[in-house]
Amino acid sequence: MIDKAKTLMEAQDIEVMLIHSPENFIYASGIYDATMRMNMEEGLLSQFVILPRESEPTLLINSGVLEDAEESWIRDIRTTPTGTWLVRERKHENFAENMVEGVKRVLEERSLARGKLGVERKYMTVDTYTRLKDSLPGAQFYDITGILQNLRAVKTEEEISKIRRAIQIAETGYGAAMASISEGVSDFEILNAFKVTVAREGADVAQLICGVGPDGGRLFSHPVGNRARKGDIVRFDLVTIYMGYRSDLSRTAVLGKPPEHLAKLHNTLIEAQQKGIRAIKPGVKLSEIHKTIEEVVRSAGHSGYTRSMFGHSIGLECEEQPFISASCDAVFEPNMVFCVEVSWYQPGWVGMNAEDMVLVTVDGCEELSNMPKELYVVK
């Protein structure tokens, strides 16, 4: 990661990157703690990886998470005070009173306070950005969103291993959820079967989309107490997190024999998805896969059918760049991981989604999810 990061920094003439968003902090530091991540996402905790192009990185953290930080590969660790009373056997002194002061002092040490700084404009608050600019009047600020997206798009073997485990756990949870469906069972009970199973397997849940019957046609269906009845379609789109890395799989169940037109529609979605997956290989543009999928559904009699994207990269976030969209001219590369999804949402009637995860290989792709794709029929 460091070598590639420094190459990208050199290409854009950036002298140091200030990495602080939860996902990119985890990626750059190698630290994952679910509570730490939650506090960062809610703005209760601020941390920085300070990555100079020509010297070693620094980890600037709240001293309350010092023990977690010591698990990082980064050896230069600086802290700011925590608001929590902690008793440590070893003496510890904070480096700075707050994060902005800490960043300034580290940059001054490295003679970078007047340099070209990369910041995550997309994730940085206006307050933090303004305070940094005021503290570093001689610095030039650049957005590094594109550099970090580029870095994270191609996964390491360790990242792929964590994604595989997240998928395995999700599939176990799906099995429990599907097995729980019966006439009269509520959407709350169905999702609870998934959540309990996932927790038992050592993962967290990030997204719980489950619609029973007509409620499944909403884009973001959520449990409202609906009870399954004969003929109901149940749409699932559930995301798990294992050691920071995510799965994203969708499946559809039906209580009793599905009407022929719904079964046909579901088969069309799977056919389109599978044709798109078979066309994925290094060097192919993502826009070509979008075109392939769209044409299959349209040729089945749905002439106006389209989506802004038929999939996305996935890793520390559920939807990462690049997207499988009509305008994306990026190409697939080995060790990229994608979700390929083809959905149908019709509020008040039905919702379906065929979504699986694939790993791009040197000569094609490998499907990472092993669950049956057909409608899960509950008799």
Contact between 54 and 80 under an 8 Å Cβ cutoff? The reply is no
Statement: residue 42 has pLDDT above 80: no
User: What percent of the chain has a predicted confidence (pLDDT) above 70?
Assistant: 100
Residue range 129-140, pLDDT digits in tens: 999 999 999 999
pLDDT digits (tens, 9 = 90+) for 152-180: 999 999 999 999 999 999 999 999 999 99
Quick one: pLDDT at residue 221?
Answer: 86
Distance (Å, whole) CA 173 – CA 166: 11
For residue range 232-278, list pLDDT tens digits in order: 999 999 999 999 999 999 999 999 988 899 999 999 999 999 999 99
Provide CATH code, domain 2-153: 3.40.350.10
The domains of the chain are located at: 2-153, 157-378
Give, to the nearest 10 degrees, the angle between helix 22-29 and helix 145-153.
60
Residue 365 CB partners (closer than 8 Å, separation 6+): 277, 280, 281, 332, 338, 358, 359
b/e map 22-41, b = 16+ CB within 10 Å: bbbbbbbbbbbbeebbebbe
Residue 4's pLDDT is what?
A: 87
Q: Would you say residue 185 has pLDDT above 80? A: yes
Residue 33 has pLDDT above 90, yes or no: no
pLDDT of residue 83: 84
Pairing mode of beta strands 233-242, 245-246: antiparallel
Q: What confidence tens digit (pLDDT) does each residue in 283-325 have?
A: 999 999 999 999 999 999 999 999 999 999 999 999 999 999 9
Common-topology check for domains 2-153 and 157-378: no
pLDDT digits (tens, 9 = 90+) for 2-15: 888 989 999 999 99
CB contact at 8 A, 334 and 362: yes
- On average, the pLDDT of the chain sits at 93
C-alpha triplet 36, 41, 137: angle, nearest 5°:
105
**157-378: what fold?**
Creatine Amidinohydrolase (3.90.230)
Tokens 């409608």 label which residue? 375
Give me the pLDDT at residue 13, please: 93
